[in-house]
Amino acid sequence: MAIAKGANGAPAFLGVAIEAWGSWEQYKREEAFRKSIAKMVEDFEKRRKELIGLINAEQFREQFFGKYLQLKDSVAQLQDSLKDCNERQQRFQAWRVEAQTIQAQFKALS
């Protein structure tokens, strides 16, 4: 009878042991997964900081956009030139109006 009780208890104990082993394996896999995610997040943060440092560096424009400063200077020169042309055009227009007024006065006197 004692053997029968032990025989009946053995499968139950074996079932509990297998379930405990499965739970332990599941826990180890989940822990490894969490560690992998934490490592990925750490690596991404490190890479992000490196990229932000690169972008904010003084040499970034020169290193990746070598002609940017020359182009910026050229645009500024063109804007100055356009401003000068507009001022010259306005002065010429005022001179033309004044000349037409003088011509009209001259015709009126003649």
pTM: 0.47
Query: Which domain range does residue 71 map to?
Result: 66-110
Q: Is residue 61 part of a domain?
A: no
pLDDT grade, residue 10 (50/70/90)?
Answer: low
Q: Is there a single domain that holds both residue 28 and residue 72?
A: no
Q: Which of 110, 88, 90 is nearest to 102 (CA)?
A: 110
Q: Is residue 51 part of a domain?
A: yes
Q: Is residue 74 part of a domain?
A: yes
- Domain count along the chain: 2
CB 62 within 8 A of CB 69: yes
How do residues 30-65 score in pLDDT, each as one tens digit? 999 999 999 999 999 999 999 999 989 888 877 888
* Alpha-carbon gap, residue 94 to 81, rounded angstroms: 20
Q: What is the DSSP secondary-structure string of 26-47? A: HHHHHHHHHHHHHHHHHHHHHH
Q: Is there a single domain that holds both residue 6 and residue 48?
A: yes
